Amino acid sequence: MPLTSFAEVPQPVMQERDFAFRRGTPDLAEAAGVANQAMFELGLAGPDRDENLEEIADDFNVQSGAGYDGLLHVLPNQAVPFEYILAVAEGKRPVGVSPASVYSNLWTPGTEKNSYTKAELNTGPAGHVARLALFNSQNTGYDPILHSLNVPFDSHKYEEIDVNPDAVPTQLEELEEDIVAFETQHPNYTLEELDHRAFAMLALMDRIRGVKIQDQILSAGFMRVPSLGRRSVDGHSLVGHVYSYVGRLRFGGSTGSAYLGVGAGRSMGLSEA
């Protein structure tokens, strides 16, 4: 009698992928407390802060089930503008730290024809969500949230010098490959980039914690923001990046070439499916 529960012809067998994400468990209770305070600072606390904390802690606990280490945080919904998140983070700026530096031609809507728009800067989830900024498993010497270091953002520079872009991996390609493989291997979770809004939230959390300015998020390295993409401003083709220097939050841009200390982030969350 034939065995009917099996496929009739060989099917592709999915191989488990060893992602370059650090294994471990973040301090769930500490992160939940700081994230809850950050939401309070943003004016987003509900009527029962204990319930707020419990909800965050529950989601953070589920995230830890994937077994990866990183920085837990809450990403506000897209009704909360990026400019507002940044302003609240600046309101917690330590004494002696300079105000945020923003390259207006790229980051301030309307400054130039191709400046990032308000809609682009404010794009976010439909509802507030818990996320985990994944740590790189390698000790790179740069901020552990940075991945795809020393990799070009896209093929733009190679097109200019007539080199085959297919022979060179890019940060955009590596991010997309990670997303597809991660979500196939971990169907209860999602993977996406870590963006400028998350950077502002993580900076706010560091300032709530009182982290030393030399240890603040992205004090060692630059993080590009894939979703904002490449723009022609100020007579150049630039890609937006974020970092901090001596505690000062910075929003700048570069050509998108490969540099040792310039990477992109990975953000893990819970699947809504």
pLDDT at 13 > cutoff 60: no
- Residue 250 to residue 196: CA distance in whole angstroms: 10
**Buried-exposed string 52-80: b where 16+ CB fall within 10 A, e elsewhere:** bbebbbebbeebbebebbbbbbbbbeeeb
pLDDT of residue 243: 98
pLDDT of residue 12: 58
> What pairs with residue 74 in β-bridges?
130
Q: How many CB atoms lie within 10 A of CB 174?
A: 17
pLDDT at 166 > cutoff 90: no
256: left (phi over 0), alpha (psi -120 to 50) or beta: left
Model pLDDT for residues 213-224, shown as the tens digit of each residue:
999 999 999 999
Q: How confident is the model at residue 265 (pLDDT cuts 50, 70, 90)?
A: very high
pLDDT of residue 165: 52
Residue-range domain boundaries for the chain? 77-123+138-270
Model pLDDT for residues 47-91, shown as the tens digit of each residue:
999 999 999 999 999 999 999 999 999 999 999 999 999 999 999
Token pair listed for 94: 């330590």
pLDDT (average), residues 136-159: 90
